[in-house]
Amino acid sequence: MPLNIDTSTYHRIDYHDLDSFVAEIYNRDFSFVAAVESSNDVTHEIFVNGNIDEWERKEFDDWKNGEPESYGTPCSIMNDLAARGLIPMGDYLIRVSW
């Protein structure tokens, strides 16, 4: 029986590069590792289509506006970046290795 293989295209980035880019764009500290409670030597997949879910929108807007007790999820941040034309839409692999 042959192995069922799906070939796909992904945008691959390092978590540290994402942290730096988010900090530069939003002028806020951001830690991908903390946000997803990641362990070391793993890869996370995020689908980016430029849309932020309604239930995440208020929390994201509060985070973007500097509210101290708010948070921006990697998904909402990356979707905002895509909606603004700063990153391409599509599937992302975020590499975590320190």
Q: Is beta strand 90-96 parallel, antiparallel or unpaired with respect to 11-14? A: parallel
Look up tokens 């409670």; give the residue.
Answer: 37
Two structure tokens written together for 84: 């603004």
Q: Where are the domains positioned within the chain? A: 25-96
Closest by Cα among 97, 98, 82 to 11: 82
CB atoms within 10 A of CB 8: 6
State the pTM of this model: 0.91
**54-64 vs 74-83: helix axis angle to the nearest 10?**
80
Tens-digit pLDDT profile for residues 23-71: 999 998 899 999 999 999 999 999 999 999 888 898 899 999 988 877 7
